[in-house]
Amino acid sequence: MKDMIKKIDFIMELDKLKAILRKSKPVGLDRYENSAEHSWHVSLLVMTFSEDAPSKLDVLKVLKMILLHDIVEIDAGDAFLFDEKAREAAMEKERDAAKRIFGLLPAHLEKTFTNIWMEFEEGQTKEAQFAKAMDAAIPVLQNINNNGQSWIENGITLDQVLNNKRKVIEKEHPLLWEYIKEKLTKATYWSK
Amino acid sequence: MKDMIKKIDFIMELDKLKAILRKSKPVGLDRYENSAEHSWHVSLLVMTFSEDAPSKLDVLKVLKMILLHDIVEIDAGDAFLFDEKAREAAMEKERDAAKRIFGLLPAHLEKTFTNIWMEFEEGQTKEAQFAKAMDAAIPVLQNINNNGQSWIENGITLDQVLNNKRKVIEKEHPLLWEYIKEKLTKATYWSK
């Protein structure tokens, strides 16, 4: 029973991720999306696109990475991709957050979840690299269908988007990258 | 490229699930939760509790079921567990919704996703039964920590909750059921 109470404490803590807002709005909705619904959306992208990965993946591990990857934002907040200062400042906060939040769990699960989260953060394995590509692709697809909403609101340029996203997406899904590049270079919403 | 465009159309359609509201509020937030963030939350419950399942599970399949199970609500809406009329009326709408929404995908994925969704709906396999138990447990855990919010707002009695939830949860996780039963029978928010 003691271990189960710890698991329930962890699960209830997670409700807080539903209050962490990102810079993107879901297409058709006039509100910012939160990191919990975003994590669900990326999971579906993984389920739909993992068959195209450059090498055979442990899809269960990729899904677990995606489902866990934003939980640290409960303490650290969401750092916008293009805000380098905020992202650097977030790193230490995120490590502390992982310690506190995964630390709610029984020891064996704390270890498992922390390892999956760290593997994602380090981005060295094929699963982590594919997961990062899918995580990076979702807001791009939303912006393509939303007149560049989060980029325009935050003064992000076409070059910034292409440089930042290419690194993560191109190798993992060349065809998706080709599609994205074409859409973005043809878009007319960029400020000069 | 043609198959990929279909996949992207499906992914963008999914943003709409973020607008489908349930009867529960996330603990600490003064708003109803949507079915996308709920699906994420149930996935984490699966990741945390599947080690306790009565027999060894294909966890990847359970996660896929949870991630897909509410997508039909984009067309059919969320039918409250305790509203039997709404649930019956929803069944045909949900079948049509699955046809339309999974039909956005390339044929092989349409088939795969439809089969996973149907296996969940039919509830015959051990993966489907465990998935349904976890899906049923999340709003109970929220209500336990939220003064029975969705039950009180909708005039649901203790007996209704116990009868409906026991069927789904007890066999899959007896210890969790014991915990829930004790919390609910001790709660003082029930109307007489």
Chain A: residue whose CA lies nearest to B68: A44
Chain A: residue whose CA lies nearest to B110: A48
Which of A4, A37, A49 faces B40 most closely, judged by CB atoms?
A: A37
Instruction: Determine the Cα–Cα distance for residues B141 and A179; give it in Å rounded to an integer.
Output: 43
Instruction: Determine the Cα–Cα distance for residues A42 and A134; give it in Å rounded to an integer.
Output: 6
Q: Are B69 and B131 in contact (CB under 8 A)?
A: yes
Count the Cβ atoms, other than its own, within 10 Å of residue A167. 12
How much is the pLDDT for A50? 98
| pLDDT level of residue A80 (50, 70, 90 thresholds) | confident
Per CB-CB distance under 8 Å, the chain A contacts of B13 are: none
How much is the pLDDT for A192? 64
Per CB-CB distance under 8 Å, the chain B contacts of A19 are: 26, 28-29
Chain B: residue whose CA lies nearest to A143: B12
Beta bridge partners, B21, equal B34
If you average pLDDT over residues A159-181, what whole number do you get?
Answer: 98
Q: Which long-range contacts (CB under 8 A, 24 or more apart) does B71-75 make?
A: B71/B14, B71/B17, B71/B97, B71/B98, B71/B101, B71/B102, B71/B117, B72/B97, B72/B98, B72/B101, B72/B117, B73/B17, B73/B20, B73/B35, B73/B97, B74/B13, B74/B14, B74/B16, B74/B17, B74/B20, B74/B101, B75/B100, B75/B101
Does residue A69 carry a pLDDT above 70? yes
Enter the pTM of the model.
Answer: 0.97
What is the average pLDDT score of chain A?
Answer: 96
Q: State whether residue A1 is helix, strand or coil.
A: coil
- Tokens representing A12 are 């209830």
Instruction: Find which of B3, B6, B9, B12 to mutate to test the A interface (most A CBs within 10 Å of its CB).
Output: B12
Please give chain B's pLDDT, 192 residues, in tens: 899 999 999 999 999 999 999 999 999 999 999 999 999 999 999 999 999 999 999 999 999 999 999 999 999 998 888 888 888 888 999 999 999 999 999 999 999 999 999 999 999 999 999 999 999 999 999 999 999 999 999 999 999 999 999 999 999 999 999 999 999 999 999 976
DSSP string, B38-101: HHHHHHHHHHHHGGG-SS---HHHHHHHHHHHTTTHHHH-PPPTT-HHHHHHHHHHHHHHHHHH
If you average pLDDT over residues A87-112, what whole number do you get?
Answer: 95
Q: State whether residue A62 is helix, strand or coil.
A: helix
How much is the pLDDT for B191? 75
**B141 to A11: CB separation less than 8 angstroms, yes or no:** yes
Q: Which ipTM score applies to this complex?
A: 0.96
Closest CA to B130 of B165, B173, B70, B82: B173
